Structure 1
Amino acid sequence: MVAISSVLLALGSAASVLASPINTTSSALNLITRATSPGTGTHDGFFYSFWTDGKGSVTYNNEAGGKYSVQWSNVNNFVAGKGWNPGAARTMSYTGTWNGQNVNSYIALYGWTRNPLVEYYIVESFGSYNPSSGTQKKGSITSDGGTYDIFQTMRYNQPSIDGTSTFPQFWSVRQQKRVGGTINIKTHFDAWTKYGLQLGTHNYQILATEGYQSSGSSSITVAAS
């Protein structure tokens, strides 16, 4: 693929939280149902990315404008959403619903850069697993009515938008969970730079739903502010 990465596989172990971009072929035992096939593209003026590792059932739907919906059941890992390509230090807003509060799932602004290759998350809400668990905090920022903790993790020999690679992940994780609001992305990029986390040339950037070894649903609409 190309859709994303990492989110759920626990740091340095099989529990790290995250998804990685590769297409796998489903089997009779790992049947995927979907309205939109895994991959990337454009739909009604927005870029979309839908990645799944092929295990469990996940149905992703591109809807009008910046809206998408997704339902998943007994998945291993998937990540999907709408946004822009290339990403930028823009201000964006989103609204919607998310039924993932009690399972391993995220709502996050998610993207990639090249040169250097970096996968990044601005996590707006998370369920049963906090991605900052077991990591060293770099710092924190206050933005858009909340406080975000900043940290970095590494992925070694994992799938990426450029094939199997080793690359860092940059994270801002909101302390006050929410589903809906405005994200000043530049604030996070500037804070990451302040703490020595350097991004490269932007590839795609989406407001993603991600699930790991869980079941749930979401319906999200994104817009540029």
Structure 2
Amino acid sequence: MRSNTFLSEVARKVTSGAALLLLITGSSITAGCNKKSIAETTPVGERQTGYVNENAQPESTGTNNGYFWSLYREGGSGSITFGNAGNFAISYSNVTDIVGGKGWNPGSARNIGYNVGALSGSYNFVGIYGWTTNPLIEYYVAEMGSVTGGTYINNVSSDGHSYSFYKQQRVNAPSIIGTATFWQYKDTWGGSSTGSNRSVNMTNHINNWRSRGGQGFGSYNYQILALEAWGNKSGYINATVW
């Protein structure tokens, strides 16, 4: 997903099926990486991020108009297109999991502005999504939809909203460095709407993760305004980040 610490190409043999996972940094517009059936392994309301199978496909990243972008997909179909500055659109159909959007690499404790101009179909999450390394952490700030699961830690007040902070460990799951064990930090508000300029003060979230997350935070990797949908969903988003 970015000009990050990605391996330009990683091949990993999975003993349960001689599966091959390819993580490729590139600029193609469609993307993905398949895993085992969600219905078999996923708790209600939570995506599964492990169990690579033989249908693994490449992931796409790149830059556009001075912004970093990423698109990751498992199953179904999906594509990302770009407008001016931080604008992007993602269309997807019958995806096992898709997460993509536009932002920066590396991220920072910045104040992020965004506007979701259009959102249709079904989805799980729209908000700020990113990674750190040392330690390896996948993080979410849910402005629309939700990301929960794992252990509830506390509430975070930011930008006039109260976010619920959950923490969860993923074991042998796909990550920006290949299959790994890592922590997720997930802040959920979910009350945003389409057509309005909004902002996310990442300093408030990151300070709470550092002090209450238990694993610290790590060095910034990419950070994007993203949509994620899992569980054979289809839909469309057009949004702008700044």
What TM-score comes out, normalization by structure 1 length?
0.80
Indicate if the aligned counterparts of 1:4 and 1:79 stay in contact, CA closer than 8 A.
no
Q: Mapping of 1:141-152 within 5 angstroms?
A: 141-152=156-167
In the other structure, the counterpart of 1:105 is 124
Q: Which residue of 2 aligns with 1:31?
A: none
Correspondence for 2:67? 46
In the alignment, structure 2 segments of 5+ residues that lack a partner are 1-22, 26-30
Q: Could you tell me the percent identity over the aligned residues?
A: 33
1:161 maps to which residue? 176
Q: Which SS does the other structure have where 2:122 is aligned?
A: coil
Q: CA deviation at 1:99?
A: 2.7
Q: SS where residue 208 of structure 2 aligns?
A: helix
| Structure 2 equivalent of residue 170 of structure 1 | 185
In structure 1, the gaps of 5 or more residues are 27-37
- Counterpart for residue 190 of structure 1: 207
- Structure 2 vs 1, CA of residues 202 and 4 (structure 1 numbering), >3 Å: closer, same or farther? farther
The equivalent of 2:78 in structure 1 is 58
Structure 1 residues 46 and 163, CA gap change in structure 2 (3 angstroms):
same
Shift of 1:18: 5.9
After the TM superposition, which parts of structure 1 deviate over 6 Å for at least 4 consecutive aligned residues? 2-5
* 2:153 matches 1:132: no
Task: Give SS of 2:204's match.
Answer: helix
Does structure 2 retain, via aligned residues, the 8 Å contact 1:19–1:77? Answer: no
Shift of 1:60: 1.1
- How many angstroms apart in 1 are the aligned matches of 2:90 and 2:72? 12
Indicate how the Cα distance of structure 1 residues 18 and 186 shifts in structure 2: closer, same or farther if over 3 A, else same.
farther
Task: Kindly tell me the number of residue pairs found equivalent between the two proteins.
Answer: 201
Instruction: Choose 1 or 2 for highest CA Rg.
Output: 2
Which amino acid counterpart does residue 188 of structure 1 have in structure 2?
A: H
Give the CA RMSD over aligned residues. Answer: 2.7
Specify the code of the residue in structure 2 equivalent to 1:43. N
Change (3 A) 1:124 1:18: farther
Q: Which amino acid aligns with 2:211?
A: K
